[in-house]
């Protein structure tokens, strides 16, 4: 399978050195847009090519195409809109054909956008089309409404000097992961998306996938998440102790994805797979309730959406796994395909269950998670 970027070419909209200094001087006389953490993440991901073929924030035509048809105007499958929003006051200073400074939450210049259009999006239509609900209790819908309806489109340049991931030693760009795969001689790579510590069911899925590919990219999302999700620094410690003890080290890589969670379920599964193709992966694990939240999506809805899009155009193989559990009968991880055990002999695992146990001060049992990971989690929750 080709490891070409989505749409053909890996986008690079980063600026540094003399160009970065030039942008700072220019920005001093430009109208400005204050962006929050999630839009800063999108800006970064556009700039380093993780969202190729996008070279900037979407216009109204692209927004409508993604919301209504789950594809870009050029026909490529696409899961979620990537939008830059601004306040009404900020919008009054913007002119198509002009430029605007994009200011990070700390007040520093993050980048510049060539303004192509300013328009209003339909928040209700986007909520229903992308999230499948208009319920404000859904975190993605709540974020959508918080960001507002006024949007700015156009190509961007990125010059923010601070590593937004919080893990600079693990924040590899798509160009860097591709180089690392080539150095290892990997031609087939499976990516694993997670916003939780890796429990036993995750480990089982990863190692099943590793049997058919050269290497595994554990690619945790470390951008903005819900307040009750386990913090990224705790999760990273869990990943490191797990890899050190239970994985073949020359078959696995750990790198972070500084993206914001949208909790868009099936639509976000497509979004996540596209980014992993741009990072150089050929396969992508799609498990139970991928990118889900609450009861908004069916158990396997995120897998089923891949049957309704152009898989050939997507160019990355989704690996669809059944709900895995610890089987008391066989005393190992299994699924309904591999274990004859009845319901009473199946111990189902989930990040939510682990978080609930930790919040009550209970140690997750070995059927849930490796003891070294449980040690890290218990220490963090006691703290």
> How far is Cα 298 from Cα 263, in angstroms, rounded to an integer?
13
Q: Which of 103, 105, 127, 123 shows the shortest CA–CA distance to 113?
A: 103
pLDDT at 76: 97
Helix/strand/coil for 359: helix
Helix/strand/coil for 188: coil
* Positions of the chain with pLDDT under 50: 1-2
Active-site entry in 196, 262, 278, 346: 196
The CATH homologous superfamily of the domain defined by 174-257+322-382: HUPs (3.40.50.620)
The answer to whether 171 is a known catalytic residue is no
Q: What is the pLDDT of residues 356-368, one digit of tens each?
A: 888 899 998 888 8
Q: DSSP strand E in the chain: where?
A: 32-34, 56-57, 84-85, 99-103, 109-114, 117-120, 150-158, 189-194, 215-220, 252-254, 283-286, 317-320, 325-327, 332-334, 346-348
pLDDT at 1: 44
CATH 3.10.400.10: which residues of the chain? 17-158
The answer to whether 146 is a known catalytic residue is no
DSSP state for residue 14 in the 8-state scheme? B
Beta-carbon contacts of residue 163 (< 8 Å; ≥ 6 apart): 171
CATH 3.40.50.620: which residues of the chain? 174-257+322-382
Q: What is the pTM of this model?
A: 0.95
> How far is Cα 25 from Cα 64, in angstroms, rounded to an integer?
35
Sign of the C-alpha dihedral computed for residues 38, 101, 66 and 144 taken in this order = positive
User: 123 near 145, Cβ under 8 Å?
Assistant: yes
Exposed/middle/buried for 106, CB within 10 Å: 0-12, 13-18, 19+?
A: exposed
Paired tokens of 311:
């898989």
Active-site entry in 71, 195, 277, 346: 195
What topology does CATH give the domain 17-158? Sulfate adenylyltransferase (3.10.400)
pLDDT at 376: 95
Helix/strand/coil for 301: helix
């Amino acid at each position: 399978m080709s490891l070409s970027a989505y749409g053909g070419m890996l986008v690079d909209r980063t600026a540094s050195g003399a160009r970065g200094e030039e942008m700072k001087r220019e920005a001093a006389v430009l109208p400005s847009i204050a962006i929050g953490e999630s839009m800063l993440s999108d800006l970064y991901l556009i700039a380093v090519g993780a969202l190729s073929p996008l070279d900037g924030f979407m216009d109204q035509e692209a927004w409508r195409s993604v919301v209504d048809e789950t594809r870009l105007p050029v026909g490529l499958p696409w899961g979620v809109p990537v939008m830059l929003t601004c306040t009404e006051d900020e919008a009054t200073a913007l002119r198509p054909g002009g430029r605007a400074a994009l200011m990070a939450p700390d007040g520093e210049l993050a980048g510049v956008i060539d303004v192509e259009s300013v328009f209003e999006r339909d928040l209700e239509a986007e909520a229903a089309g992308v999230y499948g609900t208009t319920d404000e209790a859904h975190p993605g819908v709540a974020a959508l409404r918080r960001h507002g309806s006024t949007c700015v489109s156009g190509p961007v340049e990125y010059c923010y000097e601070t590593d937004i991931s919080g893990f600079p030693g693990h924040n590899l760009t798509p160009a860097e992961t591709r180089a690392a795969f080539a150095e290892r001689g990997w031609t087939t790579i499976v990516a694993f998306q997670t916003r939780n510590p890796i429990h036993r069911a995750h480990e089982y899925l990863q190692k099943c996938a590793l049997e058919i590919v050269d290497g595994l990219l554990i690619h945790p999302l470390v951008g903005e998440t819900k307040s009750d999700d386990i913090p990224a620094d705790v999760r990273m410690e869990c990943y490191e102790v797990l890899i050190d003890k239970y994985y073949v080290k020359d078959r696995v890589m750990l790198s972070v994805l500084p993206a914001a969670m949208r909790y868009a379920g099936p639509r976000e599964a497509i979004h996540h797979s596209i980014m992993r193709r741009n990072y150089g992966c050929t396969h992508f694990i799609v498990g139970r309730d991928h990118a889900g939240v609450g009861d908004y999506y069916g158990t396997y809805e995120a897998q089923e959406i891949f049957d309704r899009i152009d898989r050939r155009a997507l160019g990355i193989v989704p690996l669809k796994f059944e709900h895995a559990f610890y089987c008391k009968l066989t005393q190992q991880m299994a699924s309904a395909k591999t274990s004859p055990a009845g319901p009473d002999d199946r111990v189902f695992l989930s990040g939510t269950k682990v978080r609930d146990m930790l919040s009550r001060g209970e140690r997750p049992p070995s059927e849930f998670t490796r003891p070294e990971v449980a040690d890290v989690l218990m220490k963090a929750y006691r703290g």
